[in-house]
């Protein structure tokens, strides 16, 4: 250990076991960890440093060591390893205030008063399981920011800044009054679930705050108490009540308020609780994804939920933290549409990916129980260990170009290679070979921001070509819940190939080949399961029902372009006008995506009587995802959610500075975003976490 700065250069993994990532901030990631010797929990912040930065933080680390107060997070020590600084601190199991108000809704006035005694901003105020208030995320950040600024164009969260801080270059300085301002902004945040100007870009907010005439300095109380705000009877029970509400949201269906709390500021009455916002994609919670009746059942190892925790998270201007849900499934369809009742959200898992990605799936390695994100890209098939995100490493699994992926138990199906052929890969064998290979040679990896040519492909992959599938351009997988059979159908130049999953051999076996001329374009390629049929039907298009007896076609009924797989197929099918996606929700409900409309029909094409028959959006829908009681429609610059029952908007996220694309919807939802102004730039990857299938 370097005693001059109090930083150890030993391997921190000899002292701490990382459990899971619980937050992401401007300066790095935060992990929940366990001390190997004492079994005590700790929070470890891992910060990337540039060479020479370690000597510049001596004063801050010394200050953190000397800061011992009941309302300040305890500092345990620091490690410098592989250009990364590991800062070990006290773990606060209650999470941050930001985690809590996303579950409970606005705080009561007395709860805000109790918190404001020692505060800066909601994401940096932590709560222990006993209800103690603790401050975190300070000190080292002041010096590290100089290093991070070399890589980021903007650092920090300006929404809590006092005007004199925002205009420091003009006014030349500030004093302790800026801290009083920050306390007031935090009070507003806890009452309104976000600070003022949070709907603006950070740079826009900073510019407005630096202008003295652009900020409303008038503050209001919910009520007019007879005694001063800060001298109320404020006890720890107020926070324990908050923790109870956060941990048991189902027992607190409505936000109870004191009589005085019901008074609001003039002009606030018109505000809606709907989560319609222009926040980052990882700010809003969603209900858990719906497991379709035709979706293949995952193996039991993959179905176990690993990391469904309410955790400490950090806030940054460019990447606001992911909110880790409780993992509880929605028990009732008629939930309040606010995001605070939902249990999952998009969490960034990789920043600055250089790959050209076409598809993505997730898989859990049975031996280690680690979950992996598997990416199919132009450069090959790559994996990311979601339990070791601090490594920021993608590893090449297969060298061939890949356009489609699907995982069945421990078998990876892919359409890959120059000839676009269907392959079957044993994932467990591939990972065993990787382990043996790494014992013989140094570890070769793909860094976050660099695609290295030194990564050697695995030449001895346990891979099998599926015969007669060269030139495969579309695939679809469906399970018949009545017979428990799982089918894979592929579109090949000569027609269709149908495969059946054979459990004893753990592989797909060819069932039949169907000679048929397919349309040149296949925007829809979906297997539909009928109760009466042994094999599924293949839908390749949807259109209006044909006119009968000279009558005009009905605008209500739709006609499926079906290829019969149970017997002799019909003649070459046509394609419906503009239909982009068909999803079988249950045994007699299908969602059809048109240009800007989602039609909900039965297998005869008639409008649904149980659900809203039509959902209309104001943008071209690119991908539709089904949640428990709603759908998420993704478009170029965001998403919008609508209830399947009431057609009400449940969420809306718009960010015209990013282009979003859904990469995978099998078991876990994987999303990527790219800067709008530079489509060739590196991408960020997100995964929907916090629900039963996530890691």
Q: Does 27 show up as a binding residue in the annotation?
A: yes
Answer whether residue 345 is part of any domain.
yes
Number of domains in the chain: 3
Q: Say if CB 227 and CB 118 are below 8 A apart.
A: no
Query: In three state form, how does the secondary structure of 153-177 look?
Result: CCCCCHHHCCHHHHCHHHHCCCCCH
Q: Does 23 show up as a binding residue in the annotation?
A: yes
Q: Say if CB 462 and CB 428 are below 8 A apart.
A: no
**What is the reported pLDDT for 236?**
56
Q: Say if CB 684 and CB 695 are below 8 A apart.
A: no
Answer whether residue 451 is part of any domain.
yes
| 228 and 343 assigned to the same domain | no
Beta carbons within 8 Å of 227's beta carbon, 6+ residues apart:
none
Q: Is the dihedral of CA 249, 252, 257, 258 positive or negative?
A: negative
Q: Which residue has tokens 């936000």? A: 255
Look at residues 507, 506, 466 and name the one whose alpha carbon lies nearest to residue 490: 466
Q: Does 24 show up as a binding residue in the annotation?
A: yes
State the CATH number of the domain containing residue 344: 2.130.10.10
* Domain final position from 271, 303, 338: 271
- Residue 454, classed as helix, strand or coil, is coil
Residue ranges making up the domain that contains 220? 93-136+155-271
Q: Does 646 show up as a binding residue in the annotation?
A: no
Q: Say if CB 312 and CB 96 are below 8 A apart.
A: yes
Beta strands in 250-315 (DSSP E): 275-277, 285-286
In sequence order, the β-bridge partners of residue 638 are 635, 654
**What is the reported pLDDT for 563?**
92
**What is the reported pLDDT for 127?**
66
Cα 190 to the chain's mean position, in Å?
Answer: 24
Q: Does 180 show up as a binding residue in the annotation?
A: no
| 294 and 257 assigned to the same domain | no
| 106 and 2 assigned to the same domain | no
| 385 and 454 assigned to the same domain | yes
What whole-number distance in Å separates Cα of residue 626 and Cα of residue 316? 30
| 173 and 295 assigned to the same domain | no
| 250 and 382 assigned to the same domain | no
* Domain final position from 37, 57, 91: 91
| 414 and 351 assigned to the same domain | yes
Q: Does 22 show up as a binding residue in the annotation?
A: yes
* Dihedral-angle region of residue 126 (phi above 0 means left; psi in -120 to 50 means alpha; beta otherwise): beta
**What is the reported pLDDT for 388?**
82
Per-residue model confidence as pLDDT tens digits over 484-493: 899 999 999 9
- Cα 191-218-270 angle, rounded to 5 deg: 50
Query: DSSP state, 666?
Result: S
Instruction: Give the Å distances, CA to CA, from 186 to 116, 123, 222, 329.
Output: 8, 10, 15, 31
**What is the reported pLDDT for 316?**
30
* Total number of residues shown for the chain: 695
Structure tokens at 332: 């009732």
Q: Say if CB 73 and CB 160 are below 8 A apart.
A: no
| 526 and 579 assigned to the same domain | yes
Q: Does 287 show up as a binding residue in the annotation?
A: no
| 633 and 498 assigned to the same domain | yes
**What is the reported pLDDT for 71?**
73
- Cα 46-50-56 angle, rounded to 5 deg: 85
Answer whether residue 146 is part of any domain.
no
Answer whether residue 664 is part of any domain.
yes
Q: Does 382 show up as a binding residue in the annotation?
A: no
| 31 and 115 assigned to the same domain | no
Q: Say if CB 200 and CB 116 are below 8 A apart.
A: no
Alpha-carbon Rg for the chain, nearest whole angstrom, is 27
Q: Which residue has tokens 């898989």? A: 363
**What is the reported pLDDT for 406?**
96
* Domain final position from 226, 242, 271: 271
Answer whether residue 626 is part of any domain.
yes
**What is the reported pLDDT for 310?**
26
| 395 and 521 assigned to the same domain | yes
State the CATH number of the domain containing residue 209: 1.10.510.10
Answer whether residue 148 is part of any domain.
no
Below-50 pLDDT ranges, the chain: 1, 3-4, 120-122, 139-156, 217, 226-227, 230, 253-279, 299-343, 442-461, 547-550, 552, 690-695
**What is the reported pLDDT for 411?**
95
State the CATH number of the domain containing residue 54: 3.30.200.20
Answer whether residue 328 is part of any domain.
yes
| 643 and 679 assigned to the same domain | yes
Q: Say if CB 101 and CB 193 are below 8 A apart.
A: yes
Q: Does 250 show up as a binding residue in the annotation?
A: no
């Amino acid at each position: 250990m370097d005693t001059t700065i109090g930083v150890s250069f030993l391997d921190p993994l000899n002292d701490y076991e990382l459990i899971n990532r619980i937050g992401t901030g401007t300066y790095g990631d935060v992990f929940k960890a366990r001390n190997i010797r004492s079994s005590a929990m700790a929070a470890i912040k891992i910060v990337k440093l540039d060479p020479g930065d370690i000597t510049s933080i001596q004063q801050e680390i010394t200050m953190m060591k000397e800061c011992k107060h009941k309302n300040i997070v305890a500092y345990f020590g620091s490690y410098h390893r592989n250009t990364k600084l590991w800062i070990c601190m006290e773990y606060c199991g209650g999470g941050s205030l930001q985690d809590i108000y996303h579950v409970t809704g606005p705080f009561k006035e007395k709860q805000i008063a109790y918190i404001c005694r020692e505060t800066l901003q909601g994401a940096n105020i932590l709560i222990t399981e006993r209800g103690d208030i603790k401050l975190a995320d300070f000190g080292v950040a002041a010096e590290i920011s100089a290093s991070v600024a070399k890589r980021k164009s903007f650092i920090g969260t300006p929404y809590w800044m006092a005007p004199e801080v925002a205009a420091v270059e003009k006014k030349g300085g500030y004093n302790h009054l800026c801290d009083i301002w920050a306390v007031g902004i935090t009070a507003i945040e806890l009452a309104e679930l976000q600070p003022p100007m949070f709907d603006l870009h950070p740079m826009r907010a900073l510019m407005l705050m630096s202008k003295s005439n652009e900020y409303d300095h008038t503050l209001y109380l919910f009520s007019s108490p007879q005694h001063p705000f800060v001298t109320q009877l404020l006890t720890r029970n107020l926070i324990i009540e908050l923790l109870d509400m956060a941990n048991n949201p189902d027992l607190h269906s409505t936000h109870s308020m004191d009589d005085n709390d019901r008074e609001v500021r003039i002009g606030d009455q018109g505000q809606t609780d709907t989560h319609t916002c222009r926040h980052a994609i990882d700010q809003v919670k969603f209900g858990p994804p719906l497991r379709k009746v035709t979706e293949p059942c995952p193996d039991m190892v993959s179905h176990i939920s690993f990391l469904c925790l309410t955790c400490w998270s950090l806030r940054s201007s460019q990447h606001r933290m992911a909110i880790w849900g409780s993992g509880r499934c929605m028990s009732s369809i008629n939930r309040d549409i606010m995001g605070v009742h939902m249990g999952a959200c998009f969490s960034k898992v990789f920043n600055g990916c250089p790959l050209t990605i076409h598809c993505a799936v997730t898989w859990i390695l049975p031996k280690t129980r680690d979950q992996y994100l598997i990416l199919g890209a132009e450069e090959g098939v790559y994996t990311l260990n979601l339990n070791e995100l601090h490594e920021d490493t993608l590893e090449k699994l297969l060298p061939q170009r890949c356009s489609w992926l699907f995982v069945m138990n421990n078998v990876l199906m892919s359409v890959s290679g120059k000839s676009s052929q269907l392959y079957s890969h044993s994932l467990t064998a591939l990972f065993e070979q990787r382990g043996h290979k790494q014992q013989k040679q140094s570890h070769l990896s793909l860094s976050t921001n660099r695609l290295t040519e030194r990564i050697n492909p695995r030449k001895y992959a346990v891979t099998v070509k599926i015969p007669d599938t060269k030139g495969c351009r579309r695939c679809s997988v469906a399970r018949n819940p009545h017979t428990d059979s799982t089918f894979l159908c592929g579109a090949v130049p000569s027609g269709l190939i149908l495969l059946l999953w054979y459990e004893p051999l753990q592989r797909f076996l060819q069932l039949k080949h169907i000679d048929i001329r397919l349309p040149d374009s296949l925007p829809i390629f979906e297997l539909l399961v009928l109760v009466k049929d042994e094999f599924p039907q293949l839908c390749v298009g949807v259109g209006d029902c044909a006119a009968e007896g000279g009558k005009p076609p009905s605008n209500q009924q739709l006609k499926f372009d079906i290829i019969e797989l149970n017997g002799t197929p019909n003649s070459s099918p046509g394609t419906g006008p503009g239909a982009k996606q068909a999803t079988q929700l249950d045994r007699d409900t299908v969602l059809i995506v048109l240009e800007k409309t989602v039609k909900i029909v039965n297998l005869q094409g008639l409008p649904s009587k149980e659900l809203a028959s039509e959902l209309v959006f104001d943008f071209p829908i690119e991908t539709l995802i089904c949640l428990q009681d709603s759908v998420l429609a993704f478009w170029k610059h965001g998403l919008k959610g609508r209830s399947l029952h009431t057609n009400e908007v449940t969420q809306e996220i718009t960010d015209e500075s990013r282009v979003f694309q859904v990469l995978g919807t099998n078991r876990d939802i994987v999303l990527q975003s790219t800067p709008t102004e530079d489509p060739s730039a590196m991408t960020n990857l997100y995964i929907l976490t916090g629900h039963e299938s996530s890691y």
